[in-house]
Amino acid sequence: GHKQAANEKLTAVRTEQSIQERLQKAQADQTQASWLEVRQLYEQLLSEFPHDSRRVTWQAQADLAAEEAELIQLFELAQHHLEKREWEAARVVLANLTTRRAGYSAKGQAVSQLSLWAKGEEKAQIAHKAGDWPTSADNYDQLLKDFGEHPRRQRWQEKRQEAQDKLALEKSLREG
């Protein structure tokens, strides 16, 4: 009796230690936004300890992690479309993200900022392709003002300069 009670207590302590280690790992993964791993940890806890009193909390955390993982995937998909200049596809994904969670941001970027960038660059490119140099230069200038440190900054500066050069050339030809 006494030995069995001691063994049960030891098993309970080890079980609790195992649970606590996983909860700490889940918290760490959460701060790193490794949502799929967070979800897996909570689902493991749910399957291994189905009668634990914290079950409802674990299920809620697993559901939250699943939602966060989906939102990050959508965010990355939007970024992918933007990088490839697939404006319509990017708009659809960004609208979906905004509908699912207004004000959403990931990786230090708000969805609203991505949407502004997409609209701004699309307008600038349309004007540039149409040879509307004043509008093109203005739109690229606006992008440079709105998005200071941006991976595409150098490209925007080049496009703005090209538009300004073509504008100056047209002016000199008209006056010449």
Q: What is the pLDDT of residues 32-65, one digit of tens each?
A: 568 888 899 999 999 999 999 999 999 999 999 9
Q: Is 12 left (phi over 0), alpha (psi -120 to 50) or beta?
A: alpha
Residue 116 has pLDDT above 70, yes or no: yes
Helix (H, G, I), strand (E, B) or coil at 160: helix
145: pLDDT strictly greater than 80: yes
Q: Which two tokens stand for residue 173?
A: 């030809």
What's the whole-number average pLDDT of the chain?
88
The percent of residues in the chain predicted with pLDDT above 70, rounded, is 97
Query: 105: helix, coil or strand?
Result: strand
What confidence category does residue 83 fall into, taking pLDDT thresholds of 50, 70 and 90?
A: confident
pLDDT score, position 4: 85
**Is it the case that residue 150 has pLDDT exceeding 70?**
yes
Q: Report the Cα 133 to chain-centroid distance in Å.
A: 33
Asked whether residue 106 carries a pLDDT value surpassing 90, the answer given is no
pLDDT (mean) for 125-129:
93
Question: Percent of the chain at pLDDT above 90?
Answer: 49
> How far is it, in rounded angstroms, from Cα 8 to Cα 30?
33
Q: How far apart are the first and last CA of the chain?
A: 108
Bridge-partner residues for 109, per DSSP? 106
Q: Specify the pLDDT at position 19.
A: 81
Q: Which residues pair with 105 in a beta bridge?
A: 110
CA dihedral 104, 110, 114, 119 (to 10 degrees): 90
Average pLDDT value for residue range 78-99: 90
Higher pLDDT, 131 or 106: 131
Q: Per residue in 19-49, is it b (16+ CB within 10 Å) or e — as a string?
A: beebbeebeebbeeebbebbbbbbbebbeeb
Interatomic CA distance for residues 157 and 143, integer angstroms: 9
Separation between Cα atoms, residue 119 and residue 122, nearest integer Å: 5
